[in-house]
Structure 1
Amino acid sequence: MSFSVVIVAAGSGTRAGPGQAKQWRLLAGKPVLRWSVEAFLAAGAAEIIIVTTRDGESAATDVLAGLSGWRTTLGGATRALSVQAGLAALSERPGDESVLIHDAARPFVNRKIIDGLLRALANADLALPALAVADTLKLASPDASARTVSREHLWRAQTPQAAPRDRLLAAYARWADGEPTDDAQVVEAAGGRIAMIPGDPLLNKLTYPEDFAMAERLAGAARVTRVGQGFDAHRWGPGEEVWLCGVAIKHDETLIGHSDADAGLHALTDAILGAIGEGDIGDHFPPTDPKWKGAASDQFLKHAVDLVAAKGGALVNVDVTLICERPKIKPHRQAMRERLAEILSLPIDRVSVKATTTEKMGFTGRGEGLAASAVVSVETPA
């Protein structure tokens, strides 16, 4: 079923504490807004409009880098005006096509909610997810006394809220009763039928600083750990230095390869690519391409790290083993760890570099070449 999306991301989020507006902040290593945009794109959204401020337009470009199918428009002074601006910015599509209105501050929207809303629209003018009120409610009086209020039949409305575009536009055109709290209120006032589907506690809105702390824990629970391994080997040839794990070491030979032949970085790059299912180093930097002749291998590793970030993932730790008789690795091991930590943006205690020999056996034992293996762990959204 075809649908478009309007994401309201024009608020300043002052209640969330100092710093950037909450839609641009990082949540489990990924900007809050990006969580929703990726979910809607994965569910098949035909078009996504991000309603934001003039400053927010450049921020959106940064946090949504690498994603397509979205664009921005300027919002209004209120949420209702921003929603209407988003609806007006949608491309010319059938008026009865469903549009989902979503708050950027609810990052954990999922396919089950999206599909449930679209199905519910078959018998309604607007559909929304909602949670039954579970806590006892108290109504505070000006004199500081409080009384219990019945929670029977009370529900907590969430977003996204879905409606045919033409019906939602018509309802907003008729609205004249102050600032509505959500889109369902507008459609309800216009005589529309509202359907509710089971909401999701993960859809709670990020409003206060403590909400971010909770969301970080929830995001961790909704992530998977992936493990990747890599291996590389190069033969020795005439030279005066060798590059290993991003560090130049004076030596009476050098490793021969199309790039700088840094076997440690190559193995590590392959391990990261393997963890996220993105092939191997040769797929991204073909040895037949003269562009990479003599290239520094740290750019290969940085590319792999960027791919992890684009998937909303993060490196957890890396472990590299260099296999050779010469040169001696121990005097340079700390420098290698520091260089890898810098490239990977990891604390140094999550970076391991080790060395071993093959007791004079095989091509490394005979001094014909050097080998490297690497293991990494990566966390990505489930």
Structure 2
Amino acid sequence: MSHSYPQAGKTPRVAAVIVAAGRGTRAAGAGGPAKQYRPVAGRTVLARTLDAFTSHPRVDCVLTVIHRDDRDLYDESAAGFVGSLLDPVFGGATRQESVRIGLEALAGETPDIVLIHDAARPFVAADLIDRAIEAAEGGAAVPCTPVTDTVSVVDNDIRGETLDRSKLRAVQTPQSFRYADIHAAHQRAASEGRDDFTDDGAVASFAGLDVTVFPGDALNMKLTTPEDFRHAEARLLASLPDIRTGTGFDVHEFCDGDHVWLGGVKIPHDRGVLGHSDADVALHALTDAIFGAIGEGDIGQHFPPSDPQWKGAASVTFLAFAAGKVKERGGIIANVDIAVLSEAPKVGPHRATIKKVIAETLGITEDRVGIKATTMEGRGFIGRREGLCAVATATVRLPV
């Protein structure tokens, strides 16, 4: 088997294959997206993983292997990395096949080293990537952490042999290889009908490569269960100690029409709402709350009603822009809450849909969105059914 490597003094060309073709739904529940597309503290797991590799100065190109049904989800996660990623490829029926497809797609990039990493490990640190690149000089290497628990063989719920944990290690990714060697190893496994390997180090060993180990990282956790996601979110929130709160208020009067927009949802009504955009008081108030939390002025400053391009505009555009400003600061939106004051239409029947729209627009989970409504008991501008208004708060966490 070839053991080609750059000449002495030449910097090796490094590629990364991010394996994101799995269909695991234990984290999100039945009917939810695969775990790599689930948000954690405002960004999807895949986006966080891609960020770690595209921002690393020693990684020259990054290719993602995805499921063919997930292209739209991938595009959303990869939107912030335009120009930093190779076009994704569709994976196969198993992880092993998906990796082989990814390696074949890299052939035109002529990498010397390839790092193979599971998308569900978003906390991969830059120094772990460095260690992986350096370890690849030996041909094949995997990161490992010590096993601290007692490990026993169990058969039919009966405890059997206790294994010597001093000889056991938990294997992580990124696993690193000379590209030509691991590509050939995967081709050999496929040609011999071996499709039962669960990681690439095992494929390398099967093909006769000596697979060395290097220190992994206990924080490089794989997200699998809902509990994993709760721990991950808590960890990210703890890393952003600057907590900001903003408030927003908006009011619009009724006019002739047959619907109103509230929280990004079109609700049938016997009146319309007067406004330059779609006059969504809930989203206008919330957008201002987010701007207020980060000291970015107000909605009128960013989207002036004097500008004709915003005539009839969907207010989710304004909300997404405000969320983007938080992201630019390296922060996350921790919680939002909206109170709508209206005699009619009623918010209750539409609450679930409104929560979903806002959560998706902000990239947060629905349990971080509050939406409620109240009347003015027939009093004042609202009570006379002349219009409606909304009050919103937003809590944002930023790095110091």
Query: Into which bin does the TM-score normalised by the smaller protein fall?
Result: 0.5 to 0.7
Matches within 5 A, 1:287-298: 289-293=307-311
**1:114 aligned partner, one-letter code:** I
Q: How many residues align?
A: 350
Q: Structure 2: how far apart are the matches of 1:59 and 1:151?
A: 40
Matches within 5 A, 1:55-204: 55-68=69-82, 69-90=85-106, 92-96=108-112, 98-121=113-136, 123-140=137-154, 144=158, 146-175=160-189, 178=194, 179-188=196-205, 189-192=207-210, 194-204=212-222
**2:246 aligned partner, one-letter code:** Q
Contact kept? 2:142, 2:176, Cα under 8 Å:
yes
C-alpha displacement of 1:299: 4.6
Q: Structure 1: which 5+ runs fail to align?
A: 207-211, 322-328, 355-371
Aligned to 1:22, which of 14, 24, 34? 34
Contact kept? 2:66, 2:91, Cα under 8 Å:
yes
2:145 counterpart SS class: strand
Q: Structure 2: how far apart are the matches of 1:112 and 1:286?
A: 46
Q: 1:151 to 1:267 in 2, by over 3 A?
A: same
**2:91 aligned partner, one-letter code:** G
C-alpha displacement of 1:132: 0.6
145-154 or 80-89: which moved more? 145-154
164-173 or 8-17: which moved more? 8-17
Q: Structure 2: how far apart are the matches of 1:260 and 1:55?
A: 33
Matches within 5 A, 1:344-359: 344-345=358-359, 350=370
Q: 1:201 to 1:299 in 2, by over 3 A?
A: closer
Indicate the residue corresponding to 1:12 in structure 2: 23
Q: 1:23 to 1:342 in 2, by over 3 A?
A: closer
C-alpha displacement of 1:215: 1.4
Percent of aligned positions with the same letter in both sequences? Answer: 35
Indicate the residue corresponding to 1:367 in structure 2: none
1:203 counterpart SS class: coil
RMSD across aligned positions (CA) = 5.2
**2:183 aligned partner, one-letter code:** L
Bigger radius of gyration among the two:
1
C-alpha displacement of 1:146: 0.9
Indicate the residue corresponding to 2:5 in structure 1: none
1:71 counterpart SS class: coil
**2:395 aligned partner, one-letter code:** S
Contact kept? 2:276, 2:310, Cα under 8 Å:
yes
Q: 1:5 to 1:13 in 2, by over 3 A?
A: same
Q: Structure 1: how far apart are the matches of 2:286 and 2:155?
A: 63
The Cα offsets for residues 64-95 of structure 1, whole Å up to 9 and x where unpaired, read as 44543253212234332221210111263343
User: TM-score by structure 2 length?
Assistant: 0.64
Indicate the residue corresponding to 1:317 in structure 2: 336
Contact kept? 1:27, 1:215, Cα under 8 Å:
no
C-alpha displacement of 1:157: 0.5
Indicate the residue corresponding to 2:6 in structure 1: none
**1:187 aligned partner, one-letter code:** A
Q: 1:144 to 1:85 in 2, by over 3 A?
A: same
The Cα offsets for residues 309-360 of structure 1, whole Å up to 9 and x where unpaired, read as 8989445034799xxxxxxx8979x979x99868745679946899xxxxxx
